[in-house]
Amino acid sequence: MEKARHLRLLIKITFFLFAFSLHAQHVNELTASLDGESNQIEIKQRFVYVNNSKTTLNSLYFYDWNNAYSNNTTPLSKRFGEDFNRSLHLAKNKERGFTIITSIVDDSYGGLNWERTSGQDIIKIELSKPLAPNESVELFLTYTLQLPNDKFTKYGHKADGGFYLKDWYLTPVVFKSEWLLYSNKGLDDLYTDIAKTDINLIFPRGLFAASNFDYSNVSTFPGGQRMTLKGENRKSCQIIITPQKQFTKHITSQLTVTTDINASKYDDISQGISINRVTKFLNENLGSYPHRNLLVSALDYNKSPLYGLNQLPSFVRPYEEQFQFEMMFLKTALNSFLQETLFLDPRKERWVNDAIANYLMINYVEKNYPEQKLIGKLSNVWGVRGFHLAKMDFNEQYYLLQMLSARRNIDQSLNTPNDSLIIFNQKIANRYKAGLGLAYLADYIGKERVDSTIIDFYNVQKLVPKTNVSDFREVLKQCADDEIDWFFDEYVGTRKKIDFKIKKIEKTEDSITFTLKNKRGTNVPISLFGLQKDSVVSKYWFSDIDSSKTYTIPRSGEDRLVLNYDQKIPEFNQRDNWKTLNGFFSSNKKLQFRFFKDTEDPYYTQVFYVPIVNFNIYDGITPGMRIYNKTFLERQFNYDISPTYSFLERTLVGSASVRYRKYHGKSGLYVSNYSIGGSTSHFQENSRFTTITPAISFGWRPNDLRSNRRQSLLFRHRNVFRTIDEGVLADQSIDLDLANNPDYSVFNIRYRNFDNNIINYKSSLLDFQHSSEFTKLSLELEYRKLYESNRQLNLRFYAGKFLRNKTNSDFFSFALDRPTDYMFDLGYLGRSEDSGLTSQQIIIAEGGFKSQFEDQFGSDWIATTNASFNLWRWVELYGDIGFIGDRSENARFVYDSGVRLNLVTDYFELYFPIYSNNGWEVAQPNYANTIRFVVTISPRTLTGLFTRRWF
């Protein structure tokens, strides 16, 4: 069997080598002169394009990715905005990159017509005559590159006078029955044809250069330096130019490595030994590298680092220097090795390279560092070593981070185009899922077979101009005795979750009969282990389980059956994977209390506790204990109990909630939430409020997960119970209905539709409330526009109307600047205050005014508009206008204006009133008391500010 398989592969290798020899290379010759003062490169390029297709071509397309930085309408700039990165949108002209094309002529020196496509980073060249298959055309191109500032994508000119050139000159677009026109979106996925390239580079003196191409010694002349770079069967030349010499060459028995990856506490000799160790591993597990030089740069590593604890500052990094250096070098070397030699479509088929690279990284750790823990040396620290996280092996991070995406229902299939992935999936989750997939397949069909197949695939396909996923699928199928279509059809081609459980067990003296349930219907194989204490005594694979199947296995001393015991399968939920064979209640898990949040341990029922501190001026600082079951991975059922102690009131306060979240599909109605929660606190001295709220909510999102648009519909019934101090009741200013009817309930429906985009933010909220005393309806619209000049326009419109109002006070009325918050939704530090610092806190709700008016309530209707526009950075002018009406009275026209310091929108802002219905407020006494502020102290809310770009 093995001999026949290798014979077929040998025949296939011979065929590919023959076919490749018939595929003529393009010829690319450049003379590039870099000016260090202007950051420009003058280029004269001769390109011989060979039509290797079966189609006659009338025009050619070339990538000009440098021009993607030219303005705010390119796909690169738009993607930055989607990712909450406004650096390119607000870039100055001197920071941008662009290309000025002087001329494009053919071999007859006739000028050719050309134009830019809509993305502005691809040019279309009209040929003077049709180009038939196997014929070639010679082009001469003259153009100037204005390099961008490297702050956008790390490519371009650096502040220290260095340069990082990647995807910089014009290269041909790949033609596969049609032109594959991929704009630059900052994803490092240029898909261009291979060519025989010679570059004559002239650059300033005093600089040092390194490249992925072969390059000769640099010669100097009075005006600068010159170096020649050559590449055979290469895609694009990468050049790193630095003010100091920081790259070194390591000549190993396998290949020559040029690198600047360094470890300050790891000596040079040891680094050399580690580099030799890694290159030997690459040679043994992939094959010989076909080029003379492999560039492994720290810049490339920083663009795709080892995410996790090793991103912490060096003084708290938990890994040994040798391990950390080798993993940094291995990851970067693997990515460069594969990108330079396996020419799959990186935008649509990147997962194959990711699968091979991450699978080999898993193998490297298993082989060389089998005892390495996920958190390294921290796993031995007192107070940490008891956590399940401390017991996890280093390779378990792949499952953990991939499942972080799946549990949040934001996972995407492996064959999703690279530019359609959200950042977290593009950089982490999908890469890890691909590597886990190969490890899963290796466990199923045999590790030796997958290892040898990767070598065979690499040696057949390296330097083949247009490799496809189908080639990878074919070679894997040839190595397997079992059917593996499930791997490509289910695991790669869908985002279906894998989830099995053992339903029931019947046992005799010599056999065990059990039923396996496929909870998600994903048709993939599942492993079953028989354990005696902690030793594996049997292992089986079961496949083709559509819903449920019953099996019988011989009894070999097992006292427990466990699905996916070695966790090779990235299963969605491992908490129901085991059954014991001893006793009726033996399936119950042990209860485990753990300080602080931990990773999920499938063999325990985990309860977490952590000290917390809250604050408001009535309760003061309220320390307490939070008890909850939420792990680092999201769970469907969550409870959260947070009792705290009020030192000012000398009583217990706090909150509690129970929530069940059900995720549906990828788009449309994607989530439902069912919850009941309650809280209790004080709203005045010795005056307590308690809320109990059952709620149901639904969420919708578009098919494109990169879109920031979301819709939600909430149904809730807020029940409020209050006890009011007699001293407060004696206050003549107290509302009568507050005293006579302290308790109330409000049924609330809220529909929200928003697009959280940093350039164009749009939001609408429709709110309906009904209680025994009133019925009201309100609408809120919000729009923010960020202009190229860094000016931001903020507009908000609010309108509300009572459909029914039987109240005798303004407690439930619409408010201009400080609603009473009878629903207890707003995070007031002092919700009942009418003087002092906390009374100046403002939360933009209802009318949204900033000035404080004696009569700010409306018992019938309200309509207001809030606007602001920045003068310089975070300094803005604001203005509010509107009408507010009481029952049986004429509406009042209100307005205010002032200066807003928009330090962090919605999180920390200051408002300085200037002119309003109150007159010139800035000239009135006690002006400091009129200054308003917005502040957010919730850690969860602040965390969202930094994580929103990832998800």
HSE, CB side, 13 Å, CA atoms: give it for residue 284. 11
Residue 134 predicted with pLDDT over 50: yes
**What does the alpha-carbon distance between residue 770 and residue 50 come to, in Å, rounded to a whole number?**
73
- The arithmetic mean of pLDDT across residues 232-246, rounded, is 95
Within a domain: 59: yes
CA dihedral 883, 884, 885, 886 (to 10 degrees): -160
pLDDT at site 740: 65
CATH code assigned at 541: 2.60.40.10
Rg (CA), the chain: 33
pLDDT at site 656: 97
pLDDT at site 869: 92
Residue 310 predicted with pLDDT over 80: no
pLDDT at site 732: 45
Structural domain of residue 516, as residue ranges?
A: 500-588
3-state SS of 547-574 is CEEEEEEECCCCCEEEECCCCCCCCCCC
Within a domain: 844: yes
Count of domains for the chain: 3
Within a domain: 119: yes
Length in residues, the chain: 951
* Residue 781 DSSP SS3: strand
Type of residue found at 510: D
Residue 724 predicted with pLDDT over 50: yes
Binned at pLDDT 50, 70 and 90, residue 24 comes out as confident
Q: What angle do CA 323, 327, 332 make, to 5 degrees?
A: 155
pLDDT at site 1: 44
Within a domain: 331: no
Of 588, 623, 640, the position where a domain reaches its end is: 588
pLDDT at site 851: 94
In this predicted model, what pLDDT tens digit does every residue of 315-334 receive, in sequence order? 677 899 999 999 999 999 99
pLDDT at site 14: 46
Within a domain: 356: no
Within a domain: 377: no
pLDDT at site 324: 92
Q: 393 with 373: CB under 8 angstroms?
A: yes
pLDDT at site 218: 86
Binned at pLDDT 50, 70 and 90, residue 426 comes out as very high
Residue 11 predicted with pLDDT over 60: no
In this predicted model, what pLDDT tens digit does every residue of 279-308 receive, in sequence order? 999 999 999 999 999 999 999 999 988 876
Q: 610 with 626: CB under 8 angstroms?
A: yes
The rounded percent of the chain whose pLDDT value lies above 70 is: 93
Among 245, 187, 247, 173, which residue's Cα sits nearest to residue 212?
A: 247
pLDDT at site 315: 66
CA dihedral 340, 343, 349, 355 (to 10 degrees): -50
58 or 907, which is more confident? 58
**What does the alpha-carbon distance between residue 209 and residue 192 come to, in Å, rounded to a whole number?**
24
According to DSSP, the residues that pair with 295 across neighbouring strands are 258
Within a domain: 327: no
pLDDT at site 479: 87
Burial 248-260 (b: 16+ CB within 10 A, else e): bebebebbebbbb
- The arithmetic mean of pLDDT across residues 830-843, rounded, is 87
Residue 636 predicted with pLDDT over 80: yes
Residue 584 predicted with pLDDT over 70: no
Binned at pLDDT 50, 70 and 90, residue 587 comes out as low
Q: 169 with 144: CB under 8 angstroms?
A: no
- The arithmetic mean of pLDDT across residues 386-413, rounded, is 93
Q: 495 with 413: CB under 8 angstroms?
A: yes
pLDDT at site 930: 93
pLDDT at site 7: 46
Q: 72 with 788: CB under 8 angstroms?
A: yes
Binned at pLDDT 50, 70 and 90, residue 4 comes out as very low
Q: 499 with 542: CB under 8 angstroms?
A: no
Q: 309 with 318: CB under 8 angstroms?
A: yes
3-state SS of 57-105 is EEEEEEECHHHHHCCCCCHHHHHHHHCCCCCCCCCCHHHCCEEEEEEEE
- The arithmetic mean of pLDDT across residues 818-833, rounded, is 89
**What does the alpha-carbon distance between residue 883 and residue 864 come to, in Å, rounded to a whole number?**
6
- The arithmetic mean of pLDDT across residues 733-753, rounded, is 79
In this predicted model, what pLDDT tens digit does every residue of 495-524 receive, in sequence order? 999 999 998 888 888 899 999 999 999 999
pLDDT at site 904: 79
Within a domain: 398: no
**What does the alpha-carbon distance between residue 368 and residue 284 come to, in Å, rounded to a whole number?**
14
The phi and psi torsions of 170 (rounded to 5 degrees) equal -70, 130
Of 551, 567, 588, the position where a domain reaches its end is: 588
Of 218, 246, 274, the position where a domain reaches its end is: 246
Residue 653 predicted with pLDDT over 90: yes
Among 600, 614, 608, 611, which residue's Cα sits nearest to residue 627?
A: 608
Q: How many CB atoms lie within 10 A of CB 709?
A: 14
In this predicted model, what pLDDT tens digit does every residue of 80-112 receive, in sequence order? 988 888 889 889 999 999 999 999 999 988 899
3-state SS of 701-721 is ECCCCCCCEEEEEEEEEEEEE
Binned at pLDDT 50, 70 and 90, residue 217 comes out as confident
In this predicted model, what pLDDT tens digit does every residue of 924-942 receive, in sequence order? 999 999 999 988 766 555 5
Q: How many CB atoms lie within 10 A of CB 644?
A: 22
